[in-house]
Each structure stands twice: as structure tokens, then as C-alpha cells.
Amino acid sequence: MKKMITFTINGELRSVEVEPNDILLHILRDKLGVTSPKIGCERGDCGTCTILLNGKSVRSCLMLAVEADGQEIITVEGLSDDGLTPLQDAFIKHNSFQCGFCAPGMILAATELLEKNPHPTKGEVKEAIAGNLCRCTGYEPIIEAVLDVSSQSN
């Protein structure tokens, strides 16, 4: 049975009709046109579908769309009203992505980390992105970008 759900996505209130078995990732991409969360493993292992749900990183491939009703979602499209965030700039500066498939998830996982812990150790950065797979960079440029932003914040 279809259900109308309403949630905030990147600061905008949106309503959409979904079936109980619709996965949030697909609704975001196909019905709302928010395509930064990517379709990867679709079983919670790769992290490329990561979104921020009420400020916490979660896998949108492991959520039913109906579970998003009344919640607040942020994807990289909505991280900043005004250009790129310092972390996104640092990703460019450090060549932290090549194909870019993992980047939205990486940036959100690292954004959550820096919110909670503005000055993480290298080990804490590794732990924060441990669930996000990257097949291009070998991870080092990503870790450098996060540590660079951290060293420049108060």
C-alpha cells in the first residue's frame, strides 16, 4: 500500500509517495533527483550510499524509504549553502578522489567525524572512514585532506 512520506532533504521539505518495500537510496536518486548517494554494493558494505540522517552517517541502501518520514537528511549537495565546505576544498587540494564514486560517502563520513571530534588522530580518521571503500586512492590522500582541515580549525 502506497504511503505519502515527508522529510527534509538538504534543507527543503519534500513529500513523496512510496511503497513499503522501496529503498531510500532509490527514492532519493530516482524520485527526488538527489544522485550523490551512489548505488554500490547495496548491502551496507561499501559506504558509497552514505547520507547524514539527523546528523549521523547512515547507509541509505539499508533503509526503507518509509523510515525517512519526518526525518532530516543531508547529502553532499546540501552540505553548504555557499560553495564548498573546507573539507570539500581539501579533497580537491589533496587529490583525494579519482573516479569520485566514493567521494560523497567519504566526505559525509568525515564531516560527521569533524563535527563530533574537530581534531581527530590519524587512527580516528581511519576508523571513521573504515566502512567507506575507495578503489583509486589507497586512502592516504583522503586521510591527509581530513587531517589538513582539522589542523586549520580552532
Partner 1 sequence: MAIAHEFEYFKPESLEEAVKLKARYGDRARLLAGGTDLIVKINDELESPEAVIDLKGIKEMKRLEFKDGRLFIGPLVTFSELIDSPEVREKFPLFIEAAETVASGSIRNRATLVGNICSAVPSLDSGTPLLTYEAEVIARGEDGERTIPIAEWFVGPKKNALKEGEIVVGVSIPEPPKKHGGCYVKLGRYRGEDLAQVGVGILALEGNEYRVAFCAVGPIASRADKIEKLLQGKKLDNGLIEEAIKLVPEEIAPIDDIRATGEYRMHMAGVMLGRGLRAAVARLNGQGPEYGISVI
Instruction: Provide the binding-site residues for partner 1, judged by CB under 8 A.
Output: 1, 3, 19-23, 26, 30, 42-45, 47, 50, 53, 56-59, 61-64, 66-67, 109, 112-113, 126-128, 130-132
Cβ closest to partner 1, residue 45 vs residue 140: 45
Alpha-carbon distances of 100 from 2, 4, 106, 116, 117, rounded to whole Å: 35, 33, 10, 25, 25
One-letter amino acid of 107: I
Nearest distance, CB of residue 40 and partner 1, angstroms: 13
Q: How far is the CB of 76 from partner 1 (least distance, A)?
A: 15
- Cα 69 to Cα 88: distance, rounded to the nearest angstrom: 29
| Residue with smaller CB distance to partner 1, 66 or 84 | 66
Q: How far is the CB of 151 from partner 1 (least distance, A)?
A: 22
97-100 LR contacts (CB < 8 Å, sep 24+): 97/134, 97/136, 97/137, 97/142, 98/136, 98/137, 99/135, 99/136
d(CA 35, CA 121): 31
Q: Quick one: 92 or 140, whose CB is closer to partner 1?
A: 140
Give the Cα separation of 38 and 49 in Å (integer).
Answer: 5
Q: Which residue has the cell 513499503?
A: 20
- Minimum distance, C-beta of residue 82 to partner 1, in the bound complex (Å): 26
> Which C-beta is closer to partner 1: that of 92 or that of 117?
117
Of 3 and 135, nearer to partner 1 (C-beta) is 3
Q: Least CB distance from residue 84 to partner 1, whole Å?
A: 22
